[in-house]
Structure 1
Amino acid sequence: MHDRQTTLRSRVTLSGVGVHSGRPVTMHFNPADADTGVVFHCNDGTEIRALVSEVGATDLCTVLGKLSSSHVATVEHLMAALLGLGIDNVAIEVDGTEAPILDGSAAAFVEAFEQAGIEQLSAHRRYIRVVKPVRIDSGASWAEFQPYDGTRFEVEIDFENPAIGRQAFKSDIDPKVFRRDIARARTFGFMRDVERLWAAGYALGSSLENSVVVGDDGAIINMEGLRYPDEFARHKTLDAMGDLALAGARFIGCFRSYRGGHKLNAAALRHLLSDSSAFEIVEATRRERGRSAELIAVNAPAYAPWVL
């Protein structure tokens, strides 16, 4: 458990296309002071904080801001990389309305952030610790938070397509696990949905370069095949990490879901944060030299980002 907040050591830039808009976009990631959190700076001067209270849509991706005005879409892979590597504070300049899809995973974000370096700040890090179970159901799908001594994800998916079927990824999460087991898992879709999505104005930037495409017969269309045997469940875990990174602080607990997605992830997070008896705010502090960080309960100020 790290006791200090972090930021990037230097500025780093990534460019690509938006998977839905198909338009080019560049993001500049800048170091930020303690307690800044993750803030997007749009071309029109608007600032959008990376918080679940700012989520404006969750249909095919997670969108921060309102679609009718300033917004940044498809932030989940970027946010997962920040959460997975333990980066708390960053100011992001973006010249479009969607994060670049890159190769469809978080790998390029991880590489860029590690190239920039991660710097420890003097301020203590705060966590949201789950203290009682919280669950939300939506038809056959469900998601829940459980108390747990650590940060753990247990994500299960269930598709009729034979290439996917029912599979799950379950693991405690730290930077090493994230880099090795989750970061390279790519977004995926089905050949039968492509024309429908294009007609609706979505997936205009999607290609075999940034998505795993599954045929109706269960065949993987991509020549290189899968990066992991259970890449689909791992990518859903990546998405869940990105969506829960919008809590405003890291959480200590276990997140479990079955047949989840962006909408369910956001709803579960809102459900947790709306019940003040389900969590407490704790601060990591190192009391003696050489000892690991201890977690001390603190009173959350009224302006704290996790207060909805």
Structure 2
Amino acid sequence: MNTKKNINLLNYVELNNLQILTIKGSDSKIFLQNQLTININKLDNSMHFFNAFHCNSQGKVLTNMHIFKICENNYQCIIRKNILQKYLENIKKYLLLYKVKISLNKERKIFGILNIQKDQIIYKNFKNKNISLKKRTVYFFQKNIFLKFKYMKKYNFLILSKENIFFILKNFFIFENLYLKNSIYWDKFYMKIGYHIIDMNSHCNLFFPQQFCINKIHAIDFHKGCYLGQEIINSLIFKKKINQKLFLLEVQSNMILSYNNLLEFKDNESKKWRIIRSQIILKILNIKSNLFWIQVLLKNNFIKKNLIRFQKYKENNIYINKIF
């Protein structure tokens, strides 16, 4: 089948590596406003979801997240499961100051929808044509939620109540072109748009938001009031002290790549290979046979023409796919 010409094609991914957290209570709004890098007031109309950072008092990132409002004093966010326990332990002390409760939402499952060719596929199943409106990014259909990425067309979250999963997916099968993809496709999407993957406990409390492409994902509101770590985050922006950027690297290798492998670059003047200092590999993704994508933080003086390789596997040259 030629999928490029098939306008009814719908690829979906069951995102078991992500977790929905529910934040409820009479102080939920003020708690989030005082903690997160975005202006929570902008969620009041329940028309949008936002990307956000939750930082510690030193301005270091605990986690990044997608967050949206369900109703008054009821919010939900999506974070990586691998760091969930570490994150909850880190914010315990802040919860004591507010009338708020954070709990795992076990009633809903998250699906990623890739490469939707026609919005009709979605709104026919949910009986809501407003889903094609460009300015809106969150939609509610009874107990189900649909989130649209405004900066990347045809990629969306579908959050389904467990009681409706079978019924909804059965409806999609009417189009006869519903394909279950491996979850690596969603991480590939994240890496492609420069959405940083904080997936290891050792990476919590390690980075400043400015080390990521904050302008593209709009995860910081510089016009809101005080929040945890704001003074340090703002001072770093004005002083321009951050000298690292997010890079997407690509390498072909039949070796087992490790997050501890050292990277080295070829010095253009001396023509010698030198170890890259202060490198931090966020994610290594095997996207197909022997082809890997690597999301990594490097000093911002690297350019696309620089030659990079693993010190351990000298025969495999690494190419800079994208600089964010």
TM range (shorter): under 0.3
Higher RCO, 1 or 2 (CA under 8 Å, sep at least 6)? 1
What is the TM-score normalised by the length of structure 2? 0.25
What is the TM-score normalised by the length of structure 1? 0.26
